[in-house]
Chain A
Amino acid sequence: MNRTMLKNTVIRRSLAGLFLLLCALPVVLAMGYAALYSVGLTGLQSDGFMLQHWATLFQGEFLSSFLYSLWIAGASSALALATALAALFTLRKELTDKRVYRMLFLPLTVPPVVIGFVIYQLFSGGGILSRVSYQSGLIDQISHFPEFVHDAYGVGIILAHLFIGFPFFLILLLNLYQQNNLDELEITAASLGAGRKDILLRVHLPVLLKGIFPVVSLYTIFFMGAYEIPLILGQSSPQMFTILILEKLQRYSLSDIPVAYAMALFYAIICIGTLSWLMMQYKKRWN
């Protein structure tokens, strides 16, 4: 792109400066403060530089919380992707019908706090499904209904994430299928002697998974940093990372605050690191 014509240095510098001020600076300030607090250089109990709080991050409830969040995020993405792929291969013709395609956007209209609330009302012990089970004789006491919310595996949270992830991934997969001419590639592979299994494993899946990988990675990070849904559906211990961060900041134990900042900074570094890695991997797509 030829930039020689738009030479106005004042405008050029102002726009770049505005970008830095509004987009980059807040992140730098945020991470800077969190870094300083987490190593004891600022804050209510700053005792000088120390890495103790970072060490605490990889033990006990913090480590459990991190692993729990990883489990939730990984399971949510994997399940959403698997179900979206299954729907793509079994219902693709129906899904390309305009009215059916439009229906895939319905879950995107629901905010996370509402999804969390609805899942709770459906799947909790006193919820709609429990009542249906009781009325149909499947259970005879409320306590016989399985635990889907506030449970150890985060089933309710995963279901809520599935509600968001499944339609979004399916929409992307449908678009990827079309953009990559998978119908014609299928014919080409068949004419070269490939059977249905070969076409699925050697053509369809590699192309689709490669195409959707950046989005699935980003959604895994988003699921890991989920707040509203685990707030309503999560258990008390271990908690999701973001819930624990806020709890530590808002409770009375001052010694927990630097660890909370270390957690926040740690999470931010993971997000930025993953994003930067993805950008470098897929740099060709940006040109």
Chain B
Amino acid sequence: MIEVRQIKKAFNDEEVLRDVSFKLRENETLSVLGASGSGKSTLLKIIAGLLDGYSGTILVNGKAIDDVKPKNRGTVYIYQQPLLFPHLNVEQNIAFGLTIRDRENSFIQEETGRMIAELQLQGQEHKYPHQLSGGQQQRVSFGRAFIIRPEMLLLDEPFASLDPSTRRDMQILFKEIAQKEGITSLFVTHDLKEALITGDRFGMMSAGKLRVFDDKESFIKDSESGVQEEIQFWKEIQNH
């Protein structure tokens, strides 16, 4: 269980995060919807340990991790850009986290093979990042993160640069694998549909404040989430 308590952060006297608090249960995905500049990326970076100078605390299974270095937090940050290692092929990129932990070769091969199959990357194992499409690269990026079973995955609009149909495929794939692998994640996006597809619980970020909804129904019914507006829009289209 991951708990974030009253995180406040300001950049040059401008408050970017105001008393942000939430709890994230194991194996669940909290999708946070918010526009650009709402503070979503700042929150992710603070949880990852990439930003300091904030007040509040972050707890993993009851232990505060505010002074723990990024590499020891067990959180993996996934950017919009896949940031694959250009000198390693698909297999090597996915296996990276296990290789540096000196796991046995047989274990690495088995896990990598399994992950490649789950990510539908069979046949691409020996290709290098520049030989892959955007969607394939992002899948490798996921595989690289999933394989080490992080405490928490922090996703910062990971599909924003993909075309609509690839994006949709990736959202569904992410949901399937996250559930299968039992990954806890915080998924940040400005796309309503993406939030609904990927999340188990939902949040809305606006002007540095976070509201969390305990279930899909309350999120859908809320007037500010945008779901009602969307439903109304399609109804009007249909009636005309």
Contacts and interface: CB of A to CB of B under 8 A. Distances in A.
State if A and B touch, Cβ cutoff 8 Å.
Answer: yes
A191 B100 contact: no
Interface in B93-122: 96-97, 99-101
B48 A188 contact: no
Interface in B66-82: 69-71, 73, 75-77, 79, 81
A187 B145 contact: no
B76 to A, nearest CB: 5
B83 A188 contact: yes
Interface string A189-219: 1111111001000110011001000000000
Contact of B50 (A180, A181, A187, A192): A187
B79 A195 contact: no
Contacts of A206: 85, 87-88
A195 B96 CA distance: 13
Interface string A153-196: 00000000000000000000000000011001101111111110
Contact of A191 (B71, B85, B130): B71
B144 A191 contact: no
A284 interface: yes
Interface in B134-173: 144-145, 148
Contacts of B71: 190-191, 193-195
B144 A192 contact: yes
B79 A193 contact: no
Nearest to A180: B86
Most buried by A among B81, B83, B87, B99: B87
Nearest to B87: A206
A181 B85 CA distance: 10
Given A192-B97, A193-B100, A203 B75 contact: no
Contacts of A188: 77, 79, 83
B48 A185 contact: no
A179 B151 CA distance: 31
A207 B100 contact: no
Contacts of B87: 206-207, 210
The contact size tier of chain B is 20 to 34
Contact of B100 (A181, A187, A202): A202
A190 B72 CA distance: 8
Contacts of B148: 192-193
Contacts, number: 59
Contact of A192 (B76, B81, B86, B88): B76
A283 B207 CA distance: 50
B97 A181 contact: no
A234 to B, nearest CB: 38
A192 B75 contact: no
Contact of A284 (B73, B76, B130, B144): B130
A185 B83 contact: yes
Interface centre among B71, B83, B148 (most CB of A within 10 A): B71
Contacts of B69: 190
Contacts of A192: 76, 96-97, 100, 144-145, 148
Nearest to A209: B87
Identify the interface centre among B73, B86, B99: most chain A CB within 10 Å of its CB. Answer: B86
Q: Which of B48, B69, B73, B100: most chain A CB closer than 10 A?
A: B100
Contact of A198 (B70, B81, B100): B100
B87 to A, nearest CB: 4
Contacts of B77: 187-188, 191
Which of A187, A191, A206 gathers the greatest number of chain B CB atoms within 10 Å?
A191
Interface in A130-169: none
A188 B76 CA distance: 8
A109 to B, nearest CB: 33
Contacts of A181: 81, 83
Contacts of B76: 191-192
Given A191-B48, A193-B148, A194-B71, A184 B97 contact: no
A202 B144 CA distance: 15
Contacts of A185: 83, 85
A180 B81 CA distance: 12
A157 B81 CA distance: 46
A186 to B, nearest CB: 10
10 contacts: A184-B79, A187-B77, A188-B83, A189-B100, A190-B69, A191-B73, A191-B76, A193-B101, A195-B100, A202-B100
Given A189-B85, A193-B101, 6 more contacts: A180-B86, A187-B70, A189-B96, A191-B70, A191-B73, A191-B76
Interface of B: 48, 50, 69-71, 73, 75-77, 79, 81, 83, 85-88, 96-97, 99-101, 130, 144-145, 148
The 8 closest A-B pairs by CB, nearest first: A190-B71, A192-B97, A206-B87, A198-B100, A191-B76, A188-B83, A194-B100, A191-B77
